Amino acid sequence: MSSTNIQLCAYSPWQRFRSPFIFAVTAVAFTVSLFYSLITFSQFSLRADDLLAVLYNYNGDEINQQIIVGLRLPRTLVAILVGMAMAIAGLLMQGITRNPLASPSVFGVSAGAAFAFAFASTGLLPALAHIPVLFITMAGALISGVVVFFLGGLHLPQANPIRVVLAGVALNYLCISMTRSAVIFADEHAYGVLHWLIGSISNTRMEDVYTMLPGLSIGLLLAMLLAHKLNLMHIGEEMMNSLGGNAKKVRILASIAVILLIASAVSVAGPVGFIGLMIPHIARALIGQDYRLLVPLCALLGATLMLVADIFSRVIRFPDDSPIGIITSVIGALFFLALALRQVRPRS
């Protein structure tokens, strides 16, 4: 990841059409998975006609249409929003830490948010019941983010990039143990805690979409606004400061966006793993280093991946639903392994 492969000013016929082409292909993939996510693998025989009927001729008494509007649509929307949030959070994290392994799950930030969520739901502190869930997960994400920042040495000028991964893993482990114990102290289902540790969107409603929207829109907006600054930062911090940019300010703003994005995703879907790690790498491989393109592409790719994962989560044990986090973590963990191996490959 040297600064030489930056394609800000590249100009060739292919370069000119490359980005629109990639966006077009991704958009098609997105639409196809959106379509399949809405109407396939249901015990009801939903058809494309039902989807059209919902759009043009909605009848609230028709059960197939109700299923699409009342269950599939919120679920699909949440998948899209969570995918966007996690992917952009990962992109920003990788941008400001310049660590290719940075992501909500590897750094333990989503585990922190999930712990806060689980702790509040156990009712051990009744006062927490009156605080909106978004604020609770934000507090969790913020605390674990700050802890991992300092433990991982991100405030130091020269730190081993693997140090922060180790800090994240330790934090992750800590949060998982605490989530377990919170659930065990609260009730008797001591061994059924998997639910809090894996993200799931099986039972989402339209309200969940509204819960996510504010945090997600602010986060997205911030990411778009910071895109240019992140490009400068990628070239080098000194260059950036000399060009009148303020690296510190960019970092703080991006961190706020990251916290908002992760918190809104976790408060609805739980800690869905590895989207934030995978998507930015795929996007960079496709389109290069320009953050002004990377932000929208990551959003689109993240949403697509979540939709595909959602379809798979219904396929693997049809007609039973599985948590979507299972699918993303199986794919993501292998991706992580491959990435780690590439990262440490002896450079010749």
Residue ranges that bind another protein, judged by CB under 8 A: 42-44, 60, 63, 66-67, 70-72, 101, 106, 121, 147, 150-151, 153, 160, 162-163, 165-167, 169-170, 173-174, 177-178, 180-181, 184, 187-192, 194-198, 202-203, 205, 207, 273, 316-317, 319-323, 325-326, 329-330, 332-334, 336-337, 339-341, 343-344, 346
Encoded tokens for 180: 């377990």
Provide, rounded to whole angstroms, the least separation between the CB of residue 176 and another protein. 9
| Residue found under tokens 């000194």 | 238
Provide, rounded to whole angstroms, the least separation between the CB of residue 229 and another protein. 29
- Note the residue count of the chain: 348
Provide, rounded to whole angstroms, the least separation between the CB of residue 57 and another protein. 18
Provide, rounded to whole angstroms, the least separation between the CB of residue 38 and another protein. 12
51 or 340: whose CB is closer to another protein? Answer: 340
145 or 332: whose CB is closer to another protein? Answer: 332
Amino acid 155 reads H
Cα(188)–Cα(185) distance, integer angstroms? 8
End-to-end C-alpha distance for the chain, whole angstroms: 15
Burial-class residue 205 by CB neighbours within 10 Å (0-12, 13-18, 19+).
middle
| Residue found under tokens 């993501």 | 332
163 or 228: whose CB is closer to another protein? Answer: 163
Closest by Cα among 81, 33, 77, 73 to 54: 73
92 or 120: whose CB is closer to another protein? Answer: 120
Largest CA distance in the chain: 67
25 or 316: whose CB is closer to another protein? Answer: 316
Main-chain phi, psi angles of 62, to 5 degrees: -80, 120
29 or 151: whose CB is closer to another protein? Answer: 151
Residue 259: alpha-carbon gap to chain centroid: 11
Provide, rounded to whole angstroms, the least separation between the CB of residue 263 and another protein. 20
Provide, rounded to whole angstroms, the least separation between the CB of residue 346 and another protein. 6
Encoded tokens for 323: 């948590």
Cα(234)–Cα(96) distance, integer angstroms? 9
